[in-house]
A and B are shown apart, each in its own frame.
Chain A
Amino acid sequence: MRTIGFKLIRLVIVVLVVTFICFWLLKLSPEDLVDKIIPVGSEAAKNKMRSDIGLNDGFFVQYWHWLSHFFTGNLGYSYLSETGRTPVGESVRQSLPISLELMLGAQILALVVAIPFGVVTAYRAGSKFDGASNSVAFGMLALPSYVLGFVLLLYVGAKWKLLPTAAPAIDSFSLNPLDNWRYMLMPVISLAVGQIAIYMRLLRSDMIATLQEDFVTTAKSKGIPDRRVLFRHALRPSSLTLLTVAGLNVGALIGGALVIEQVFSIPGIGSKLAQSILTNQLVAVQSYVAVIAIFYVVLNFFVDIAYSYLDPRIRHARAAA
């Protein structure tokens, strides 16, 4: 528990640093923030925005206001017109679950495919199957997700019409689960392919090392079936690197999702972030980036905790310390 307490304190510090950097980045812009966001707005609209953001306050006061608003769910506004402003928090609430579905789907698909292939290729290291699998994995690594996305879009979606090329305009995610998955499958595959190759290669090399360990030899000598040895005895100690990389790879998934959401017109947080960048909505960009960064940091916090449960050696070492 003490370890988790320390990790939590570290998490809070990291979150504060991350939010501070997100806030500070906005201040680096040499242009007047208000003119950049609403270049043709009336003075009244511009003054309203200055008041919203508290631009007349000092730097740290502004940061404190922004931070306190941020953690109470007020993420600022997109000033998309002279008279109207759209709450970023509302956009995040609508778009984050969509992006999570996409990233979670890609992560699950990548692991479901990569784990059996990683185990089998390690088990048959040096065989033709292993060689072929490695070659395919390198090909998948070299294929950018957006290229695969466009290929799937053009052939599977537009020409063969097996899957829809885009989600419906409104209420895309109030569909029934099967329809929902029809819309998400091509984006998920596009995003997962690169991850499959990485995870498979990592697991293969760790498994090869584990299969040389004494406890594996002992298990085999006891007559335990190969499948049980591989999946019950060898896989768990071999999966620490995979877990670490899976956690770190969320960053790559977020980056990939940003592009894939554009290709497939998915109204996720990546699309919203891209639209905010392309319409100079810098306050919204600040909040979206902060949300994504915090999500990333928190996720890796849980990955860190999961180590202890996956590997008793770490748990015992921490207890002894």
Chain B
Amino acid sequence: MRENNRPRRRLIVLTAVFAVFAVIIAACGGGSSGKSSNSSNNSKPKAGGKITYGLEAITTSFCLPSAQLSIAGIIPAEAVYDTLTEPDASGKTVPYLAKSVTHNSTYDQWTITLRPGISFTDGEPLNAAAVKQNIDAWRKGLLLSFVFTDIANVTTPNDMTVVVQLKRPWVVFDGYLWSTGRVGIAAPAQLNNTATCDRNMIGTGPFKLKNGPSSYDPTTGSIDVVKNPNYWRKGYPLLDEIQFKAVEDSQIRTTQLQGGQLDVEQDDTGKNLNTIEGLSNISVEKEPAGYRELGHGLINVQRAPLSDLRIRKAVAEGTDRNALNQINNAGKWDIANGVLDSKVLGYVSDPGLPQYNPSDAKKQVASWKADHNGATPTFALATTTDAIVQQLAQEIQSEMKKIGINVTLPTPVLQSALINDAIAGHVDAFLWRNYPGLDPDGLYVWFHSGSTVNFNHLNDPEIDHDLDMGRITADTSKRAGFYSDLDKRMSSQVYNLWNWYETWFIAHNNNVQGILGPNLPDANGAVGNDKPADILAGYHQLIGMYRS
């Protein structure tokens, strides 16, 4: 039977093989995957087109007074909302949605004058009442209430003017009207309805939700926005549509950028930058020194055994930061010893962070054990799901084991859950990045006792003093002194384990340009002379992006 039916057997085999390949060929025949060829970086900006923007995390709410926005939430928020101020390329805060922001001689009263003729995308006018409602909502918000605790009251002397009376001087209050993009001005219609506030994003910004709240899925982090045709910056935005897509694993994000499914992505991992720099169709914009965040191991100093300085020192002395930098960044990022970036006010080159010294680390551990009946110091290191972060965590676990500290690695969680757990004080330590450059008063909310987002749960009078004095003092050289002291205190007490200056970059296909955006608006709303800030902790303008 076998000999007589060879043609049939072949037919059966061929049919099966054909069935598989037919499916593949049919699917591959659907056209290209959206990738484009190289294009000139000097192409002329043009309007139109749509891009997909890859975000590093899911954002679960855009009700700004209560939202927990990392850079993955700040960027889509920036698409829909404008902030009253923005930083320019020199780091100075300049008015943006506001026409002017001025202060009295004692810095305890700030006057915000609004630009005329601006409306929210639901048609409501932008006026002083709307801005007051936003500021009052911030003051009641779960995370922002501490940020704006120095506000005594907000008044509206006329329809276009808001006066903020402070309880004490605040020399860089205008910078907090930007807050790294976290405090966009939302329409009263969004704020008034608490049931829909988290999804019904309405602002004055360059884009609006494509189909209302259904264009934002808080379970996947996807957001679809389209051009606001009535945007107050005439001629902008250039793009017709942006689809934001959360892809939490940085390597998968890089792969999707390479494959053309993402046009732009945000990242801060040097290892991925290495990969991306080898791709001919991808360009990168990197943030400069002075703007960089700190990659670090964040320590909750209220939880034993990390509440003990000996263990924190042992962790610092037992950690080979160069090895970690190699794993995370292919050694590309600069090792950091303090909380301030090299061009930030008060920077100290050696603030006293204990350096790599495993033998001394063992002595610190031995001293701690002697006081604790020989128990092994143990702490949990929380992580997100990113594959590179997992490698880092395992390396730290291995290094700590060598000096006698037991590190457990709980089940990884998404970034939003990690932030929640950190605020609630449920974690011992976690791998994190934060504290972007510009003015060091930005550190106030992260380290001052009583702050909701004081993830370290610090309660150090010296730190509080430096932060308070830095906030109220106008003299720049004196402020530098306070922040230098703060830097030294943070490092010598090992409140965090500083690893490296986290250098954010925006990677984009060559056919997407205009990442940094046009110059900032002048008093009349036209394109002015002030250049916008470079990439700042991943933040950049969206309105100037275009497809070439």
Contact = CB atoms under 8 A, between A and B. Distances in A.
B47 to A, nearest CB: 22
B16 A278 contact: no
Contacts of A154: 255
Interface string A27-46: 00000000100111110000
Contacts of A220: 1
Contacts of A78: 218-219
Interface in B411-443: 412-414, 416-417, 420-421, 423-424, 426
Given A83-B194, A166-B256, A182 B19 contact: no
B423 A39 contact: yes
Interface string B192-207: 0011111100000000
A163 B27 contact: yes
A162 interface: yes
B67 A279 contact: no
Contacts of A226: 1, 5, 8
A300 interface: no
A319 interface: no
Given A113-B16, A169-B224, A220-B1, A81 B259 contact: no
A164 interface: yes
B19 to A, nearest CB: 5
Contact of B243 (A153, A165, A169, A275): A169
A280 B218 contact: no
A287 interface: no
Contacts of A123: 2, 9
B63 interface: yes
Interface residue tally on A, bucketed by range: 35 or more
A256 B196 CA distance: 35
A194 B210 CA distance: 41
Q: Which of A119, A162, A276 has the most CB of B within 10 A?
A: A162
Contacts of B243: 168-170
Contacts of A25: none
Interface residues of B, number: 71
Contact of A84 (B30, B61, B258, B416): B61
A112 interface: yes
Contacts of A169: 52, 222-224, 243-245
Nearest to A276: B219
A23 B244 CA distance: 35
A109 interface: yes
A65 interface: no
A117 B412 CA distance: 42
B220 A84 contact: no
B375 interface: no
A92 to B, nearest CB: 11
Nearest to A189: B24
A227 interface: yes
B360 to A, nearest CB: 37
B217 interface: yes
Given A83-B61, A123-B9, A124-B2, A161 B35 contact: yes
Contact of B259 (A124, A157, A178, A179): A157
Contact of A165 (B5, B16, B261, B416): B261
Contacts of B197: 83-84
Contact of B142 (A40, A161, A178): A40
A181 B30 CA distance: 9
B247 interface: yes
B40 interface: no
B493 interface: no
Interface in B336-385: 385
Contacts of B417: 278-280
Given A83-B198, A164-B261, A170-B243, A275 B219 contact: yes
Interface stretch (A5-13, A244-252, A263-271): A263-271
Contacts of A162: 28, 33
Contacts of A178: 26-27, 29-30
B153 interface: no
A142 B210 CA distance: 45
A166 B219 contact: no
B307 to A, nearest CB: 20
Interface string A168-193: 11110000001101100100010000
A35 B421 CA distance: 10
Contacts of B13: 116-117, 120, 129
A281 to B, nearest CB: 9
A43 B10 CA distance: 71
B412 A278 contact: yes
A120 B416 CA distance: 53
Interface in A68-95: 78, 80-84, 86, 91
A84 B61 CA distance: 7
A256 B414 CA distance: 20
A201 interface: no
A271 B215 CA distance: 19
A91 B219 contact: yes
A91 B29 CA distance: 32
A21 interface: no
A153 B68 CA distance: 32
Contacts of A163: 27-28, 33
A84 B213 CA distance: 12
Given A162-B33, A170-B215, 9 more contacts: A39-B423, A81-B218, A82-B61, A82-B66, A113-B20, A123-B2, A161-B260, A163-B33, A226-B1
